[in-house]
Structure 1
Amino acid sequence: MEPIEINAGSWYLRALRADERIDDRPALADGGITDPGYVATRTAQWADETHYSWAVCVPTTAEMVAEIGVTPGADGTAAITGWVREGYREALDDGLVAVHRFTSGFLGLEPVDAS
Structure 2
Amino acid sequence: MEPVEINAGEFYLRQWRADDRIDDREALVAAGRCADRGTAGEFVADRTRRWDDDSVCSWAVCDQLTGTAVGEVALTAEGGLTCWTTPARRREGIARHAVSAVVGFGFGFLDLPRIDAVPHDDAGLRLAHACGFEPDISRGVWTRLR
Structure-2-length-normalised TM-score: 0.71
Q: Does 1:57 align with 2:58?
A: no
1:68 corresponds to 2:73: yes
Match of 1:111 among 111, 115, 121: 115
* Corresponding position of 2:80: 79
Deviation sequence 1:65-115 (CA, Å, 0-9, x none): 010111122xxxx11001110242311211011001101111011111134
Give the unaligned 5+ runs of structure 2.
Answer: 120-146
Structure of greater Rg:
2
The CA distance in 2 between the partners of 1:87 and 1:111, in whole Å, is 28
Alignment of 1:11-26 (within 5 A): 11-26=11-26
Structure 1 residue ranges without an equivalent (≥5): none
The list of structure 1 runs, each at least 4 consecutive aligned residues, that deviate by more than 4 angstroms after superposition, is none
Q: What's the C-alpha RMSD, in Å, of the aligned pairs?
A: 1.3
Whole-angstrom CA distance in 1 between matches of 2:116 and 2:42: 27
Aligned residues: 111
Over 3 Å counting, the alpha-carbon distance change for 1:58 and 1:12 in structure 2 is: same
Structure having greater relative contact order (Cα 8 Å, sep ≥ 6): 1
